[in-house]
């Protein structure tokens, strides 16, 4: 068996040696190649051959199989020189030495903040991304994660990539759970986006989700400061009485029920908190000023907690 493998390797090296002699590369230009996610060795070989970086697809595939690299080749945007030999090309793809741009989208970012990051990274204009994402009504469904962006990606490419990741993360079990709660996926994500913005401490997400769900059941207004801020298009620590009067469908101090749509792109933990909320009778929460909240089931308790919260703020 070992002898057979050695014979195959010798044959391959001989073929490559002859190839290098017969097809000597005289130019040394830079060639950009994009290898899509999930590409097979055969598909990669075709891309490289079409780009005139290799002469034989068969030799490339045999080498990949011989060195057991079939499942180790990484997608991305690569830059090669036309004089690079097949071994250098293979190792570069295997090691993921590509020119992709690393992009981390934190949980709770809305399309405006995502657009700003994209512009800072030099990927696309923030204005263009926001316009397209708004038209597609995709807020809430752009999954927060770390991505490796091909430099030539368009706004649509990025939106589709992030939305595809959301669709992978939102499982069949989650969809079934939506039915059990008698809520649409859109409503779940809308509420999860509010929880994402209101819950500073991860441990409090299920409780805050439960409070909002309890208020919806009792036909109470959600009274979420986060939704008002989204409607205002600003960010500040405390809302004024004038802010609470602001005319917007996102003003949950004025209007009952959920706002028209998500106010940010929630992470999986906030989505799970809405799908599997805490069991509680609580209807109110107020910030302690340290990232956690006072919780209460009656308005009188809530008033006391608000007083305690103001005292803490003055200390």
Tens digits of residue pLDDT in 261-297: 999 999 999 999 999 999 999 999 998 888 899 999 9
What whole-number percentage of the chain has pLDDT above 90? 58
- 8 and 89 co-located in one domain: yes
If one counts the domains in the chain, the total is 3
**Model confidence pLDDT, tens digit, residues 16-51:** 554 554 444 556 788 888 887 778 999 999 999 999
- Is residue 312 assigned to a domain? no
DSSP at 100: P
What's the token pair of residue 133? 């994402």
Give helix then strand counts, H and E, for the chain.
Answer: 14, 6
- Is residue 297 assigned to a domain? no
- Is residue 156 assigned to a domain? yes
- 180 and 234 co-located in one domain: yes
Q: Tell me the CA distances in angstroms from 304 to 114, 295, 298, 313, one per residue in order.
A: 39, 11, 10, 14
- Give the count of beta carbons closer than 10 Å to the beta carbon of residue 251: 21
- Is residue 313 assigned to a domain? no
- 192 and 275 co-located in one domain: yes
Domain that holds residue 181: 172-280
Q: Which residues pair with 287 in a beta bridge?
A: 293
Q: Which residues pair with 30 in a beta bridge?
A: 81
- 6 and 68 co-located in one domain: yes
What is the pLDDT of the chain when averaged over all its residues?
Answer: 88
**Model confidence pLDDT, tens digit, residues 62-114:** 889 988 998 889 887 788 988 888 889 999 998 888 777 888 999 999 999 99
**Model confidence pLDDT, tens digit, residues 185-217:** 999 999 999 999 999 899 999 999 999 999 999
- 105 and 64 co-located in one domain: no
- Is residue 221 assigned to a domain? yes
- Is residue 311 assigned to a domain? no
Q: What whole-number distance in Å separates Cα of residue 147 and Cα of residue 137?
A: 21
Q: Which pLDDT does position 24 carry in this prediction?
A: 47
What's the token pair of residue 35? 């290898």
- 142 and 108 co-located in one domain: yes
- 187 and 274 co-located in one domain: yes
Q: What is the 3-state secondary structure (H, E, C) of 49-67?
A: HHCCCCCCHHHHHHHHHHC
Q: Tell me the CA distances in angstroms from 28 to 35, 53, 97, 161, one per residue in order.
A: 21, 11, 19, 34
- Is residue 290 assigned to a domain? no
- 230 and 244 co-located in one domain: yes
């Amino acid at each position: 068996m070992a002898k057979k493998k050695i014979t195959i390797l010798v044959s391959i090296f001989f073929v490559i040696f002859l190839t290098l002699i017969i097809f000597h590369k005289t130019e040394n230009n830079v060639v950009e190649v994009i290898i899509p996610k999930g590409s097979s060795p055969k598909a990669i070989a075709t891309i490289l051959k079409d780009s005139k970086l290799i002469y034989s697809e068969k030799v490339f595939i045999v080498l990949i199989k011989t060195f057991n690299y079939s499942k180790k080749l990484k997608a991305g945007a690569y830059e090669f020189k036309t004089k690079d030999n097949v071994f250098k090309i293979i190792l570069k793809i295997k090691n993921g030495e590509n020119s992709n741009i690393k992009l981390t989208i934190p949980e709770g970012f809305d399309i405006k903040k995502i657009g700003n990051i994209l512009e800072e990274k030099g990927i696309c204009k923030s204005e263009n991304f926001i316009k397209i994402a708004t038209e597609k009504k995709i807020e809430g469904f752009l999954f927060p994660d770390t991505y490796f962006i091909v430099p030539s990606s368009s706004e649509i490419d990025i939106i589709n990539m992030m939305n595809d990741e959301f669709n992978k993360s939102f499982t069949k079990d989650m969809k079934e759970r939506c039915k059990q709660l008698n809520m649409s996926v859109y409503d779940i994500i809308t509420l999860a986006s509010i929880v994402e913005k209101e819950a500073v401490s991860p441990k409090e997400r299920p409780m805050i989700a439960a409070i909002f769900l309890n208020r919806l059941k009792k036909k109470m207004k959600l009274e979420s400061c986060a939704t008002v801020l989204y409607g205002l298009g600003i960010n500040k620590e405390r809302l004024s009485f004038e802010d609470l009067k602001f005319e917007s469908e996102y003003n949950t101090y004025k209007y009952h029920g959920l706002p028209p749509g998500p106010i940010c792109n929630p992470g999986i933990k906030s989505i799970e908190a809405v799908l599997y909320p805490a069991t509680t009778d609580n209807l109110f929460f107020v910030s302690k000023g340290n990232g956690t909240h006072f919780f209460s089931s009656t308005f009188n308790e809530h008033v006391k907690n608000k007083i305690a919260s103001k005292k803490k703020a003055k200390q």
